[in-house]
Amino acid sequence: MNKDIVCIGAGYIGGPTMAVIALKNPGRKVTVVDIDKERIDRWNSPDFNLPVYEPGLKEVVAAVRGRNLFFSTDIEKAVAECDIVFVGVNTPTKMFGRGAGRASDLQYWEATAREIKRFAKGDKIVIEKSTLPVRTAAAMDAILNDERGTGSGELGTGPKFTVLSNPEFLAEGTAIKDLLEPDRVLIGGPSDETGRKAVEEAVEIYAAWVEREKILTTDVWSAELTKLAANAFLAQRVSSINAIAGLCEATGADVDRVARVIGFDSRIGSKFLKAGPGFGGSCFKKDVLNLVYLCETYGLHTAAEYWMGVIRMNEHQQERIVSRLFREMFNTLANKKITLLGFAFKADTGDTRETPAGVVARLLADEHANITISDPKALDNAKRDLADLDGIKYVPDEYEAAKGADAVVVMTDWRHYPSLDWRRIFDGMRKPAFVFDTRNCLDRDALLKTGFRVLNIGK
Ligand code: NAD
Ligand code: UGA
């Protein structure tokens, strides 16, 4: 077995993860392949115009690209040459047929399994990096090992494939830091001898920089489910604090103060207690929906309803933002200029998948507001996401974007927003000038002193 690695899927996960693996394993050749030629060209671009924005990513890619990290569209060659194949293709929510709107769409995943089988020349370890429903590895195993006669690879002479689950826990915006200093790495594998050896091979990759105690091994089904459960727990915390935020607004309590004190309880902890516009990103919604679908499939209807509540609470948060703006701005938003500051689903990323700002923009458009959007990294994605809405303006400069606005709505917690010249923004706006800080990241007292009418989440 050679030590080289191929990763199928050069997206948000495949690119950064493999760049760090290559950085820390200089003795291994790491090739990232994709069917999307434009994406691969950007990974290979001489000026590092990479398809993913992550702090520190450019530097890592610059250090290893061409040394032991390669990006290519030649899937056949890469699979034929490597014995360890990571699969990091997209697994979006299925939008058709059975399980529509809930289940994972596994068509890309299955296409990849068939590609691996077609191009493989010898035995391989196939590692699930994508987030997948529990027992997907069984389907993978069936597709890959079928010709060996049993599906478990005991008979026959074709290549033997051992399927592992190695879900990724990095968060966007902190991908490189999370990869370099992970809380844990999880590897699930079969318990037979071949499985144990394959798990040890996978452990070796990470042991190049992660302490052994943080590399946790388990069975495949538990690893697959752990990933869905971890995301569901995180999403549930955001929905829980947002549910408290509504109550704070109704009663005069302050959600940030409540969260701070709750977080002092070491059993609860302080992270993921920030009230805001609701969670976005490519994964929380899809993974919780997937959990709901799994619960329903196994007849666990009360559990399914419980997790569905996390999604409903999240959607309610964006509706609440627009309703409150509507109420406070004299029950009409028609023809009023509303500027959204921030469109990315969180700071330090250009990713806009499932961003709450997208939902808010659409709800504002329903009210016939004139919408302007500003964001330092996500305007191209915003334009693409809202291409079907007429009349939206996209303005990178915050002061220009806010000029003449009736309200500025802070949707993303970009670090520089608190230090903008808010007096200058105020002076350029129509009066009364509203600011709705949905991230509670601005200095509320200073804004009030400037003359703004200030709205916050949970205050
Ligand atoms: P992505 O859409 O950014 O990238 C997936 C890539 O796979 C695309 O470039 C696509 O062209 C490619 N692809 C699809 N089918 C292919 C095929 N047959 N052959 C070759 N390439 C193919 O998605 P992502 O955000 O990187 O997510 C990938 C997986 O990782 C998902 O399951 C996701 O849930 C999981 N995940 C993502 C994150 C994150 O922060 N984005 C974190 C943890 C886990
Ligand atoms: C999340 C998880 O944190 C990762 O562990 C996981 O690997 C990843 O999903 C995935 O599977 O894709 P990510 O979505 O990139 O990472 O970003 P988070 O930092 O988790 O934020 C998700 C959303 O929740 C953002 O919209 C963020 O603004 C919101 N959030 C987060 C809050 O509103 N309040 C908080 O306290 C924390």
Residue range 24-40, pLDDT digits in tens? 999 999 999 999 999 99
Alpha-carbon distances of 112 from 33, 116, 119, 137, rounded to whole Å: 11, 6, 11, 13
Shortest-distance Cα residue to atom 41 of ligand 1: 12
**Residue of 82, 248, 283, 441 marked active site:** 283
Residue range 330-354, pLDDT digits in tens? 999 999 999 999 999 999 989 999 9
pLDDT of 3: 87
230 Cβ inside 6 Å of ligand 1: no
Residue range 392-446, pLDDT digits in tens? 999 999 999 999 999 999 999 999 999 999 999 999 999 999 999 999 999 999 9
Distance 448 CA to ligand 2 centre (A): 30
Q: Measuring CA to CA, which residue among 267, 385, 232, 244 is closest to residue 320?
A: 244
Counting atoms of ligand 2 from 1, which one is nearest the CA of 412? Answer: 28
Confidence of residue 132 (pLDDT cuts 50, 70, 90): confident
Q: How many CB atoms lie under 10 A from the CB of residue 221?
A: 15
36 Cβ inside 6 Å of ligand 1: yes
Domains of the chain: 5-218 (3.40.50.720), 219-459 (3.40.50.720)
Instruction: Give percent of the chain above pLDDT 90.
Output: 86
Give the number of the ligand closest to the Cα of residue 10: 1
Confidence of residue 151 (pLDDT cuts 50, 70, 90): very low
When mean pLDDT is compared across 8-17, 110-119, 246-255, 308-317, the lowest value belongs to 110-119
Shortest-distance Cα residue to atom 6 of ligand 1: 9
- Classify the C-alpha dihedral 167-169-174-179 as positive or negative: negative
Give me the phi and psi of 67, to 5 degrees please.
Answer: -90, -70
Query: Structure pTM?
Result: 0.94
Average model confidence (pLDDT) across the chain:
95
32 Cβ inside 6 Å of ligand 1: no
pLDDT of 88: 95
Radius of gyration of the chain (CA): 24
Distance 14 CA to ligand 1 centre (A): 7
State mean pLDDT over 48-68.
96
78 Cβ inside 6 Å of ligand 1: no
Distance 397 CA to ligand 2 centre (A): 27
Note if 82 is an active site residue: no
Give the number of the ligand closest to the Cα of residue 239: 2
Give the number of the ligand closest to the Cα of residue 119: 1
* One-letter-per-residue 3-state SS of the chain: CCCCEEEECCCCCHHHHHHHHHHHCCCCCEEEECCCHHHHHHHCCCCCCCCCCCCCHHHHHHHHECCCEEEECCHHHHHHHCCEEEECCCCCECCCCCCCCCCECCHHHHHHHHHHHHHCCCCEEEEECCCCCCCHHHHHHHHHHHHHCCCCCCCCCCCCEEEEECCCCCCCCCHHHHHHCCCCEEEECCCCHHHHHHHHHHHHHHHCCCCHHHEEEECHHHHHHHHHHHHHHHHHHHHHHHHHHHHHHHHCCCHHHHHHHHHCCCCCCCCCCCCCCCCCCCCHHHHHHHHHHHHHHCCCHHHHHHHHHHHHHHHHHHHHHHHHHHHHCCCCCCCCEEEEECCCCCCCCCCCCCCHHHHHHHHHHHCCCEEEEECCCCHHHHHHHCCCCCCCEECCCHHHHHCCCCEEEECCCCCCHHHCCHHHHHHHCCCCCEEEECCCCCCHHHHHHHCCEEEECCC
Report whether pLDDT(169) > 60: yes
State mean pLDDT over 280-309.
96
Report whether pLDDT(2) > 80: no
Confidence of residue 137 (pLDDT cuts 50, 70, 90): confident
Confidence of residue 206 (pLDDT cuts 50, 70, 90): very high
Distance 272 CA to ligand 2 centre (A): 8
pLDDT of 142: 87
Shortest-distance Cα residue to atom 23 of ligand 2: 279
Report whether pLDDT(155) > 60: no
91 Cβ inside 6 Å of ligand 2: no
Counting atoms of ligand 1 from 1, which one is nearest the CA of 282? Answer: 41
Round to whole Å and give the CA distance between 3 and 25. Answer: 10
Distance 43 CA to ligand 1 centre (A): 15
pLDDT of 345: 97
Report whether pLDDT(66) > 80: yes
pLDDT of 93: 87
pLDDT of 134: 84
Report whether pLDDT(149) > 70: no
Report whether pLDDT(152) > 70: no
Round to whole Å and give the CA distance between 423 and 451. Answer: 9
Confidence of residue 150 (pLDDT cuts 50, 70, 90): very low
